[in-house]
Amino acid sequence: MDKLIKNTGINKLIALIVTFVIVQVLISTNIINDYIFSTLVTICINIILAASLNLITGFTGQFSLGHAGFMSIGAYTCAIITLRYSTVWGFVGGLVAGAVFAAMVGFLVGLPTLRLKGDYLAIATLGMAEIIKILFRNVLDDLTNGAAGLRGIPQFINWAWLFLFTAGSVLLISNFINSSHGRACISIREDEIASEAMGVNSTKYKVTAFVTGAFFAGIAGAIYASYFYYLKPDYFAFKKSIDILVIVVLGGMGSISGSVIAAILLALISTYLQAFPELNMVINGALFVIIMIFRPQGIMGSKELSLSLIKKWTGQFGRKNGGAA
C-alpha cells in the first residue's frame, strides 16, 4: 500500500487539485451546465473502464471482450443496494459491494478461462459477458426487473465523488503497473514462456490483472447506475465491450494516459454526432481498421504523457522551426 501512494509525486497531486478546483468553479458559476456535466460523467466512466481494460489487454496482453459484463455487475449491485438504502452511505456501500462482487466474478471467470490464449480467450470472455447479461435479464429478474430495467435509482454522483473515483482509479491502476506486480504483468505480455522461465507465476499475475480490471469496471458501472438512474441489461451488450476496446486501442495498448486522451476525444466526437448514432458507430468501425493499418500502436503507443515527453515534443517542434528559419 505504501508504494501505491508514494509513487504519486507532487506534480501530479498539484495538477489533480487544480483540475478539480477549476471544474468545481465552472460548475458553481453554471458554465458547466447539466448537459455538459452528463458528458463529463460519461467521459469519467469511460476513462475508468478504458484504464481497467488497458490493464488486462494492454499491459498483461490478455485479450478480453467481456468488460461490459463486469461493469453491469457493479451497476446492478450498486443500484439494488441504493434502492434499498437511499443514503450516501448506501451509495458508497453499494459502490464498494459492486466493485468487490465484480472482482469476485472476475476471479471465478478468470481462473479457468485465462488458460486460453489470444482469440480463444477473447471469445470465452465474450460468451461470459453474454451469459451475465442473460442472467440479469431472465434469471434474476425479481431483483433486476428483467428486460424492462431498473428505474428511479437515487442519484448521488456529484463532481466531488466523480473526481475522487476517477482520479483514484487511474492512480491506483497506474501505480499497480509501475510496481513489481505490474512489471510481471508486462513481462507476460512480452513473452509468457520466457517470463515463466524467469520465475514469474504467470497464472497468478494474469488472474490478478483480470480481477483488478474487473474491480474497477465494477466501480465504473456503479457510477453509471448512480448518475443515469436507469439500467437495462441490453445496455451492457457486446457493443459496450467493443466501445471500451475502441478507447483502449485508439489511446494505445499499454498507455494509461493514452486511454484518458482517447476517452475524452471519442466522447467529444460522439457528442458532436449525437443526432446520427449510426454514423458514430460507422466512424468507430472505420477508426479500428485505419488505426490498425496505419498506426497499430494507437495515439500514445506504450508511452505515458509526462512533462519530459512534452518537453521532447516541443523541443523537436522548436528545432524544426529553427531549421526552417
Partner 1 sequence: MEQFLQQVINGISLGSIYALIALGYTMVYGIIKLINFAHGDVYMIGAYVGYFCMTSFKLGFFPSLLISMLVCAILGVTIEKIAYKPLRNATRIAVLITAIGVSLFIEYGTMFFVKPDPRSYPPLTGLMTRSFRIGNIVFSAQQILIISITVVLMVLLQFIVKKTRIGKAMRAVSLDRDAAQLMGISVDKTISFTFLIGSALAGAAGILVGIYYNSINPLMGMMPGLKAFVAAVFGGIGIIPGAMIGGYFIGLVEVMVAGYGNSMFRDAVVFAILIIILIVKPSGLLGKETREKV
80-103 as b/e: b if 16+ CB within 10 A:
bbbbeeeeeebbbbbbbbbbbbbb
**Smallest separation, CB 63 to partner 1 (Å):** 6
Among the candidate windows 98-106, 168-176, 220-228, 287-295, which touches partner 1 by CB under 8 A? 287-295
293 binds partner 1 (CB under 8 A): yes
Phi, then psi, of 306 in degrees rounded to 5: -145, 170
Separation of alpha carbons 254 and 278, rounded Å: 29
Residues numbered 209 to 238 that lie near partner 1 (CB under 8 A) are 238
Residue from 5, 85, 108, 119 touching partner 1 (CB under 8 A): that is 119
130 binds partner 1 (CB under 8 A): yes
124 binds partner 1 (CB under 8 A): yes
Name 203's Cβ contacts closer than 8 Å, sequence gap at least 6.
Answer: 114, 115
Residue ranges of E strands in 66-179? 150-151
Residue from 193, 198, 275, 307 touching partner 1 (CB under 8 A): that is 193
**Smallest separation, CB 233 to partner 1 (Å):** 12
Using DSSP's 3-state secondary structure scheme, residue 300 falls into: coil
Separation of alpha carbons 26 and 20, rounded Å: 10
**Smallest separation, CB 78 to partner 1 (Å):** 24
Strands 150-151 and 230-231: antiparallel
154 binds partner 1 (CB under 8 A): no
242 binds partner 1 (CB under 8 A): yes
Residue from 56, 79, 126, 222 touching partner 1 (CB under 8 A): that is 126
For 277-282, the CB contacts below 8 A with 24+ separation are none
Q: Which of 66, 53, 229 is nearest to 132 (CA)?
A: 66
Among the candidate windows 79-87, 96-104, 107-115, 307-315, which touches partner 1 by CB under 8 A? 107-115
- Interacting residues toward partner 1 by CB under 8 A: 63, 112-113, 115-116, 118-120, 122-124, 126-128, 130-131, 134-135, 137-138, 193, 238, 242, 245, 249, 276, 278-282, 284-289, 292-293, 296
